[in-house]
Amino acid sequence: MPSGQQPQKHYGITSAISLAPPREIDHHYTKKLCDAMKPFGVFEDEEELNHRLAVLGKLNNFVKEWIAEISELKNLPPSAISCVGGKIFTFGSYRLGVHTKGADIDALCVAPRHVERTDFFQSFFEKLKQHEEIKDLRAVEDAFVPVIKFKFDGIEIDLLFARLALQSIPDNLDLRGDSILRNLDIRCIRSLNGCRVTDEILYLVPNKENFRLTLRAIKLWAKRRGIYSNMLGFLGGVSWAMLVARTCQLYPNAVAATLVHKFFLVFSKWEWPNPVLLKQPEDSNLNLPVWDPRVNPADRYHLMPIITPAYPQQNSTYNVSTSTRTIMSEEFKYGLSVTDEILQGKAEWSKLFEPPNFFQKYKHYIVLTASASTEENHLEWIGLVESKIRVLVGNLERNEYITLAHVNPQSFPGSKENRNENDFVSMWFIGIIFKKVENAESVNIDLTYDIQSFTDTVYRQANNINMLKDGMKIEATHVKKKQLHQYLPPEVVQKKKRSIAELNRSSNGGSSKRLSLDSSHLDSSRDTDSGTPFNSPPSKPSKPTSDTDDRKCYCALVKLVSNMSSFDFPTPSPPHPEEPPLKAKPPSPPASSSITSSTKPTATSSPKEEPNGLEDSVNGAPSKRPHSPTQEDPAKRPKNTDTSLAGSKAKPIPTIDTSRTQRLPSMELPDASSPLPASNSCRVVKNSIKLALNRHK
């Protein structure tokens, strides 16, 4: 603990659950945790860290030179030019101190008021072009958060820009104060948000080193278990950081091994949709949109709210769906059982990082294939398709016969047997659990509309931004588990164990460029291999943790979670029981399609969960899955209520309002009135997907 820090200091919006200091055995388990993480490349050596510092120093000087040149061109007096300043700030995993080997750096260029955004994307971009150490330079000026991407001496950097209402930018500038946001345009506020949130998280944790080591472990676990992806409806880096920070606040004196265990204890019992807050939200009177269910009705229906601590407060998990929340809740429970075993000396830390066998988990899968005729087109195309996969998951969730749709964040290259020789192909797999239909020998299920509305969304978006090119296609196919070998190599389907040497080769770039969707986001995730993680050397079994201590912590946690609704953000009441149930749209393909509707079960048939794969932990689930409405279906609300995954009383099923543009990337969901690209009909592959579930098997 840092000198002078009092263990009784209050962190977060509640008092701590336990102030117990670490025991000798806790330090021992923490050391073993570090050893178990090392083979995955989560720690950089001193040389790599120094290289990053040197690159950032050069970039900072580069920015200062550029701002001075711009100031001279704009006829500022020499006395002002000499002190005009400019500075590079970092955020994300690098700023938090949890970046992995080869990870990119998220950075922000802060300039004074006379430097325009157009200067950044024109003159600064041109200046970067002339620098011999800078490669792969590209600007994304029309993005939700505009960015310049490049490699500086081998290190990938995503550089944002913010222009402050200041005459000069001093080296000691602190971005945490809300007053710095005054008189800024929304793009600058968005660009500043990453730095402000990261700095606030670090300020709100009791011990930064314990927080960092715990976060490294949780991020590695999330990536290995396939639940690290904000884009696909799981959690991204900042959300995992806030959950770990909240755990640190509740156990301020605990070391990393204890904190990892308490993380799973806290969030396996958490009663979603109660929000996770690191501090009481404050209003800065700047009239910026913030997450507040008292004011914004749509916020009351977010499924798993984790609220950023810096103004303007936002929910970092608006992409979470019913399925992804169910999957993550099951993973929290599994993580708790594994860490219980570890702290009782019955297992090693390596067990926590073992990947699940996704391809043995379900009986049914949807294979989503995106293909293009050139590598450049393919990279662009799969980026768009991947960003829309959560739309497909939402469509499947609201099908009355589907209990759960589980997308695997890892994409796979297309097999030679299932593609044209010259095509570049990527595949994603979605595991499906169907509800059991009572009083019916078999049921015919038509997924055509669910798939078709998704492909319409993707093609409409691609057409709107002039991306659609010859050869770009999407296909969706239903397959059973026994057919997966037609798409994937045997070692992936069977999940064979691999050696440490193979594991390290994979974690250091042995896989394809697009194997992990984290490669260009908060962190460069190299943890997408399918091997068995490093096993720590065996050690003597230690004395189990005290059952009495765990009971005390559990009772305190139940009290904490049950009182969460009193912290300014009340959870909503369930919809009125007389409200009509949510009905899925009937299949209504365009007239040009030859798809016919399938036979539905009789009126006496009622859907019930099919007992395969992941068990649905939502007791008493509604007959149709609730969903996040697209713009084609914005106003529907679910009738039935969801039972908390922790076994608590019924909770409302949230619905995400995708019309709130400040929370979504630009052109996130195109207008439903936008026409489909008529001239590109040959590229739109719309297969009829119908299947019959026979209950006699």
Task: Please list the active-site residues.
Answer: 93, 104, 106, 158, 219, 228
The neighbouring-strand residues paired with 159 are 107, 148
Are 171 and 87 in contact by the 8 Å Cβ rule? The answer is: yes
Cα–Cα dist 656/521, whole Å: 23
- The total number of residues written for the chain in this structure: 697
Q: What angle do CA 638, 642, 643 make, to 5 degrees?
A: 170
Token pair belonging to 527: 């943890």
Residue 460 makes CB contacts below 8 A (sequence gap 6+) with 670, 674, 675, 676, 677
CA 554 to each of CA 264, 415, 559: distance values in angstroms, whole numbers, following the listed order:
12, 49, 9
Read off φ and ψ for residue 273, nearest 5 degrees.
-95, 30
Read off φ and ψ for residue 498, nearest 5 degrees.
-125, 160
Q: Angle formed by the axes of helices 186-203 and 237-250, to 10°?
A: 30
Alpha-carbon Rg for the chain, nearest whole angstrom, is: 26
Q: How many CA atoms lie within 13 A of 180 on its CB side?
A: 23
Q: What is the dihedral of CA 235, 239, 244, 247, to 10 degrees?
A: -100
Token pair belonging to 178: 């809300």
Query: Helix, strand, or coil here: 576?
Result: coil
Closest CA to 514 of 397, 646, 401, 414: 414
